[in-house]
């Protein structure tokens, strides 16, 4: 056998190009010379060096999300919480102050209340539906504000325009988590956001088989700070997850439209059923922020809804067990409908009293509506309601 070198062989020459983005799991990329490598690091030419610093599958996915959000140079991270962490720790330092919406995702709340203070970053929480409340929480050292356009899981609509105006006047960076709403409903940069982020894991990828985040800033200076923090702390996304997420995004628009239509039908149905105390869906007439939903979300209610059963944990257990085929799982945005119980999952760490202050009881459920036909979904929820009623 003739001795051969192991690497590199290179790809076979071809006059055609692949229809599907190739999966590129390479950890490192070879350069011709030290000068060529210097040219890449100095920004004179584009290229890849080490996967932690960027790889093709992440960039392809990032450009797809950039196009939806109307921006450029977004960065993909290993999870949605990695994107949140990059914003909070990559853009703040000890001595800064951060204001967050009081109904953020549970882990975002934990980071605000526990992790940032131990690192010397003070935090306050305020009602995002009230721009004046946000303004009142600001201090001279306030560096950043973090909000979600639609709160999790009570689906309140933030006063995005008012908060953006206050942030601009006070020189505070506005970071918007657009996971719940997605760019199909709103593009926060158009409303004055400085940074926008997503848990790509959810509706953008849409199949519950990847864990990824995305974050982008409106200025090169902020983008560089985010990039350096992400690379240094190793928030690298998996090439395979990026490849799967890109495939999932090809159907995002169709999935969003179908799930949104079904979510409204399910919300209207549940609102008229015995044993249901209340239903929350942004475009229903009984939603407390309906007028703002029409203005901010352009009348698009999205695929998320919440409802509250009469009773407590016994009724919740009975409902979840009887709604066969609906996954009881703490996630959202899947092609299949999922049911989440915040008191036992996303908001369990808050304690009963804090949850009650947010309107989250033992009978409260969040629903991420998927691609099932509305009639089948309604019938399954009716099975759950009958079981909950029998458990009363």
CATH number at 138 reads 3.40.640.10
In-domain check, residue 30: no
Q: Give yes or no: 64 in active site.
A: no
By residue count, the chain amounts to: 392
Last residue of a domain, one of 249, 282, 306: 249
Determine the longest span between alpha carbons in the chain, in angstroms: 80
- The whole-angstrom separation of Cα 276 and Cα 268 is 12
Confidence of residue 4 (pLDDT cuts 50, 70, 90): confident
232 and 265 share one domain: no
- The whole-angstrom separation of Cα 352 and Cα 108 is 18
3-state secondary structure (DSSP) of residue 54: coil
Give tens-digit pLDDT for 149-158. 999 889 999 9
Helix (H) or strand (E) holding 175: strand 173-177
In-domain check, residue 7: no
Locus of tokens 């979600």: 148
Considering only CA atoms, give the Rg of the chain: 23
- The whole-angstrom separation of Cα 11 and Cα 31 is 15
Q: What is the CATH number of the domain that holds 354?
A: 3.90.1150.10
In-domain check, residue 67: yes
Contacts of 168 (CB under 8 A, 6+ apart): 174, 192
Give tens-digit pLDDT for 24-52. 999 999 999 999 999 999 989 999 999 99
Q: Would strands 142-148 and 173-177 be described as parallel, antiparallel, or unpaired?
A: parallel
Locus of tokens 């990828």: 205
Catalytic residue among 105, 159, 194, 218: 105
Locus of tokens 């610093």: 53
- pLDDT computed for residue 349 by the predictor: 74
Q: Give yes or no: 52 in active site.
A: yes
Helix (H) or strand (E) holding 131: helix 131-137
- The whole-angstrom separation of Cα 189 and Cα 193 is 5
Asked whether the beta carbons of 163 and 145 are under 8 A apart, the reply is yes
284 and 215 share one domain: no
108 and 222 share one domain: yes
96 and 243 share one domain: yes
- pLDDT computed for residue 281 by the predictor: 97
Last residue of a domain, one of 197, 215, 249: 249
For residue 317, say if its preceding peptide bond is cis, omega within 30 degrees of 0: no
Last residue of a domain, one of 204, 226, 249: 249
Q: What share of the chain is helix, strand, coil (3-state, %, to 5)?
A: 40, 15, 40
Is this model's pTM higher than 0.85 or not?
Answer: yes
Query: Of 375, 205, 378, 354, which Cα lies nearest the Cα of 305?
Result: 378
224 and 262 share one domain: no
235 and 366 share one domain: no
Helix (H) or strand (E) holding 217: strand 213-217
Give tens-digit pLDDT for 361-380. 999 999 999 999 999 999 99
285 and 187 share one domain: no
Contacts of 294 (CB under 8 A, 6+ apart): 283
3-state secondary structure (DSSP) of residue 280: strand
- The whole-angstrom separation of Cα 80 and Cα 389 is 37
- pLDDT computed for residue 387 by the predictor: 96
Catalytic residue among 64, 143, 156, 202: 202
Query: Of 337, 323, 279, 260, which Cα lies nearest the Cα of 153?
Result: 279
- The whole-angstrom separation of Cα 366 and Cα 280 is 9
In-domain check, residue 14: no
In-domain check, residue 364: yes
Catalytic residue among 66, 102, 159, 177: 177
- For 317, counting Cβ atoms within 10 Å of its Cβ (0-12 exposed, 13-18 middle, 19+ buried), the class is middle
Residue 259 has pLDDT above 80, yes or no: yes
303 and 277 share one domain: yes
Q: What does the block give as tokens for 270?
A: 């549940």
- The whole-angstrom separation of Cα 66 and Cα 343 is 34
197 and 271 share one domain: no
In-domain check, residue 6: no
Number of domains in the chain: 2
In-domain check, residue 126: yes
Show the domain range for 230. 55-249
259 and 338 share one domain: yes
Concatenating the DSSP letter of every residue in 82-95 gives HHHHHHHHHS--TT
Q: Is the dihedral of CA 266, 268, 272, 277 positive or negative?
A: positive
User: How many CB atoms within 10 Å of residue 13?
Assistant: 5
293 and 193 share one domain: no
Average pLDDT score over the chain: 95
- pLDDT computed for residue 316 by the predictor: 96
Q: What percent of the chain has pLDDT over 90?
A: 87
Q: What does the block give as tokens for 33?
A: 């010379």
69 and 217 share one domain: yes
Alpha helices per DSSP H over 277-341: 290-296, 313-322
Confidence of residue 354 (pLDDT cuts 50, 70, 90): confident
In-domain check, residue 36: no
For 234-255, what is the mean pLDDT?
97
Give tens-digit pLDDT for 48-102. 999 999 999 999 999 999 999 999 999 999 999 999 999 999 999 999 999 999 9
Asked whether the beta carbons of 262 and 374 are under 8 A apart, the reply is yes
């Amino acid at each position: 056998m003739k001795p051969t070198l192991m690497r590199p062989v290179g790809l076979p020459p071809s006059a055609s190009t692949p229809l599907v983005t190739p999966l590129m799991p390479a950890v490192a990329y070879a350069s011709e010379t030290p000068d060529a490598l210097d040219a890449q690091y100095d920004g004179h030419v584009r290229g890849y060096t080490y996967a932690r610093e960027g790889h093709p599958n992440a960039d392809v996915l990032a450009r797809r999300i950039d196009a939806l959000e109307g921006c450029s140079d977004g960065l993909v991270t290993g999870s949605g919480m990695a994107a949140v962490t990059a914003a909070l720790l990559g853009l703040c330092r000890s001595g800064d102050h951060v204001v967050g919406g009081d109904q953020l995702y549970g882990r975002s709340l934990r980071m605000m209340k526990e992790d940032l203070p131990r690192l010397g970053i003070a935090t306050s929480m305020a009602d995002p539906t009230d721009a004046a409340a946000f303004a009142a929480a600001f201090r001279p050292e306030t560096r950043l504000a973090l909000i979600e356009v639609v709160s999790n899981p009570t689906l309140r609509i933030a006063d995005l325009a008012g908060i953006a105006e206050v942030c601009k006047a006070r020189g505070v960076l506005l970071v918007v988590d657009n996971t719940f709403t997605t760019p199909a409903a709103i593009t926060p940069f158009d409303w004055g956001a400085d940074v926008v982020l997503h848990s790509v894991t959810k509706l953008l990828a849409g199949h519950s088989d990847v864990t990824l985040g995305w974050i982008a800033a409106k200025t090169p200076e902020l983008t560089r700070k985010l990039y350096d923090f992400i690379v240094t702390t190793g928030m690298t996304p998996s090439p395979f997850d990026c490849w799967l997420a890109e495939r999932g995004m090809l159907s995002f628009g169709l999935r969003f439209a179908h799930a949104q239509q079904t979510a409204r039908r399910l919300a209207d149905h549940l609102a008229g059923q015995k044993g249901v105390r209340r239903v929350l869906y942004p475009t229903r007439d009984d939603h407390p922020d309906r007028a703002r939903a029409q203005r901010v979300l352009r009348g698009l209610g999205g695929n998320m809804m919440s409802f509250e059963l009469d009773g407590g944990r016994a009724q919740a257990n009975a409902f979840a067990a009887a709604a066969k085929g609906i996954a009881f799982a703490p996630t959202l945005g899947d092609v299949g409908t999922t049911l989440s119980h915040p008191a036992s999952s996303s908001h369990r760490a808050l304690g009963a009293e804090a949850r009650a202050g947010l309107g989250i009881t033992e009978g409260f459920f969040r629903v991420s509506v998927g691609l099932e036909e509305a009639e089948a979904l309604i019938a399954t929820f009716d099975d759950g309601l009958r079981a909950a009623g029998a458990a009363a």
